[in-house]
A and B are shown apart, each in its own frame.
With several copies, the nearest count.
Chain A
Amino acid sequence: MIAKLSPTQMAWRAAQDIDDGAYVNLGIGFPELVARFQPPGRQAIFHTENGILGFGGAPHPGEEDWDLINAGKKAVTIKPGTAFFHHADSFAMVRGGHLDVAILGAYEVAETGDLANWSTGPKGVPAVGGAMDLVHGARRVAVMTDHVTKDGKPKLVARCTLPLTGVACVTRVYSSHAVIDIEGGHFVLREKLPGLSLDDLQSLTGAELRTPGPVGDLIVPEL
């Protein structure tokens, strides 16, 4: 079996597409790792729903200030140029189209661009947070996800079966196996792991992978 990318490696790949000066929101969990891998010479500005723009990394253990947390309730730090604001202003940034990129996790992504990432169904406690706002606000909505579930089922599907977070909102997927754009209601393969055949990748994918252009090698450093 081919070595898939780790979450850290997916984060590295996603970080390569973020421009200098971009305003970026990273979803709770693995997407938060993207902030660690800004390419040299580029500096993105990170937004968190709970009212901080331009925050820095985690504080040293024991130096946490619990008034200074991100949307995942993890302690962060300020750095020169940080700004605080209230929740309505924070979501004005989101909904008003001021963020360049949002990178979110996913339970399922459909070739239509639909995303499901907030509810696994009627059992359990639902929790939506800011995801539904982000998918309709950021100029570019990308997903970072394992290509398949722990049971080996495709997470990239023709149509989502779980409750939707948003309709036709995702335009790029950074998976453990590939980089895939969503264009015109189709998955368009841009990069795949070098040792993985297109047929094998297709077999792990729940909808047709189109290849109208060249498919690059998804090469990521050991991290």
Chain B
Amino acid sequence: MDKTIGSLALAVATIGDGMTVMIGGFGGSGAPVELIHALIDRFLATGHPHDLTVVNNNAGNGHVGLAALIEAGMVRKLICSFPRSADPVVFTERYLAGRIDLELVPQGTLAERIRAGGAGIPAFYTPTGHGTDLAKGKPVEVFDGRPYVRERWLKADVALVKAHLGDRLGNLTYRMAARNFGPLMCMAAARTIVQVSRIVEPGQIDPEAVVTPGIFVQGLVEVPVPAQEEDLNRAGARYPRVAE
């Protein structure tokens, strides 16, 4: 068994219209820029996929990565906790014009809902958000005298995640705070596609150091020197590049 996929284009080839796509990353750290750009390439070539629901902590920054995905018109709805950034104009314009839906979720609840989706827990109770607008309409239950809000799991058709090392069985390590939502999204998607800086042979990752066990990964693609979203934005990059 070898989960390696030969190209970025193949890695995103089965993502269809209307799917829910989890995209890893917290701001730029852990953002799978190359996978996202490959998905944009496919849309530009074929017109698909569109009407995606994207789950990410943020709403993109500048004109690359998730922001470029939104800018390309591929995203119908965003589920996120913090749709602000240094340069959120792509999302902000569409949101204020009513051209993209937003489900705002407290960050810890977002993380826990994704984990719950991966762990087979259809609902759980959290103190977070109780008494606020973000809990409106949600069931409330009192445990030990304290009120809690019931939240549902979040699952996805596909997760696009950036990791550091991956062995051919899909075991993954991450790099510093780029870990963030990656291990959770790997669990919660029917099909998890991971870009790694290096594909290694089974046994080259210490069994103690595996962060995401391979059972949560369906496909791996090697991107040896991945772009850092923050660097791209500081350089004023756009995707796709505007003709000069």
Tell whether any CB of A sits under 8 Å from a CB of B in the complex.
yes
Proximity bits, B104-140, A CB within 8 Å = 1, else 0: 1111111110110111110000111111111000000
Other-chain contact of A129, B29, B81, B92, B204 (Cβ < 8 Å): B81
Is B176 at the interface (CB under 8 A from chain A)?
A: yes
Q: How far, in Å, is B102 (CB) from chain A's closest CB? A: 8
Q: How far, in Å, is B24 (CB) from chain A's closest CB? A: 10
Contact A54 B83 (CB under 8 A): no
Other-chain contact of B177, A67, A88, A130, A167 (Cβ < 8 Å): A67
Q: A residues within 8 A CB of B168?
A: 81
Interface size class of A (residues with CB under 8 A): 35 or more
Contact A132 B128 (CB under 8 A): yes
Query: Would A87 and B111 be within 8 Å (CB), given that A53-B213, A96-B118 are in contact?
Result: yes
Is A137 at the interface (CB under 8 A from chain B)?
A: yes
With the chains together, A131 CA to B109 CA distance in Å? 11
Other-chain contact of B119, A43, A53, A91 (Cβ < 8 Å): A91
Contact A86 B180 (CB under 8 A): yes
Contact A127 B210 (CB under 8 A): no
With the chains together, A62 CA to B227 CA distance in Å? 17
Contact B82 A80 (CB under 8 A): no
With the chains together, A129 CA to B132 CA distance in Å? 14
Which residues 42-80 of A have a CB within 8 angstroms of B? Answer: 43, 45, 47-54, 65-69, 71, 73, 78-80
Contact A91 B132 (CB under 8 A): no
Contact B130 A83 (CB under 8 A): no
Q: B residues within 8 A CB of A126?
A: 83, 102, 104
Q: How far, in Å, is A10 (CB) from chain B's closest CB? A: 23
Contact A166 B202 (CB under 8 A): no
Contact B81 A130 (CB under 8 A): yes
Is B65 at the interface (CB under 8 A from chain A)?
A: no
With the chains together, A73 CA to B86 CA distance in Å? 9
Is B203 at the interface (CB under 8 A from chain A)?
A: yes
Q: A residues within 8 A CB of B167?
A: 81
Q: How far, in Å, is B62 (CB) from chain A's closest CB? A: 12
Interface segment, one of B5-13, B46-54, B181-189: B181-189
Other-chain contact of A96, B88, B120, B183 (Cβ < 8 Å): B120
With the chains together, A37 CA to B34 CA distance in Å? 41
Is A219 at the interface (CB under 8 A from chain B)?
A: no
Q: A residues within 8 A CB of B83?
A: 125-127
Contact B177 A51 (CB under 8 A): yes
Is A210 at the interface (CB under 8 A from chain B)?
A: no
With the chains together, A165 CA to B127 CA distance in Å? 12
Is B17 at the interface (CB under 8 A from chain A)?
A: no
Q: B residues within 8 A CB of A6?
A: none
Contact A20 B1 (CB under 8 A): yes
Q: B residues within 8 A CB of A95?
A: 108, 112, 119-121, 126-128
Contact B121 A87 (CB under 8 A): no
Is A97 at the interface (CB under 8 A from chain B)?
A: yes
Other-chain contact of B179, A85, A92, A131 (Cβ < 8 Å): A85
Other-chain contact of B228, A20, A66, A119 (Cβ < 8 Å): A66
- Which of A66, A73, A166: most chain B CB closer than 10 A? A66
Q: How far, in Å, is B113 (CB) from chain A's closest CB? A: 10
Q: A residues within 8 A CB of B231?
A: 66
Contact B29 A90 (CB under 8 A): no
Q: A residues within 8 A CB of B110?
A: 87
Chain B residue nearest to A53 in the complex (CB): B213
Q: How far, in Å, is B116 (CB) from chain A's closest CB? A: 9
Contact A83 B107 (CB under 8 A): no
With the chains together, A214 CA to B112 CA distance in Å? 44
Contact A132 B215 (CB under 8 A): no
Is B99 at the interface (CB under 8 A from chain A)?
A: no
Chain B residue nearest to A91 in the complex (CB): B108
Is B157 at the interface (CB under 8 A from chain A)?
A: no
Other-chain contact of A125, B88, B111, B118, B174 (Cβ < 8 Å): B88
Is A140 at the interface (CB under 8 A from chain B)?
A: no
Question: What would 15 more interface pairs be, CB under 8 Å, given A80-B203, A164-B132?
Answer: A50-B29, A66-B230, A67-B29, A69-B28, A69-B177, A73-B28, A88-B114, A88-B184, A92-B118, A95-B119, A136-B120, A136-B128, A136-B130, A137-B108, A165-B132
Interface residues of A (CB under 8 A from B): 20-21, 23, 43, 45, 47-54, 65-69, 71, 73, 78-99, 119, 124-133, 136-137, 163-167
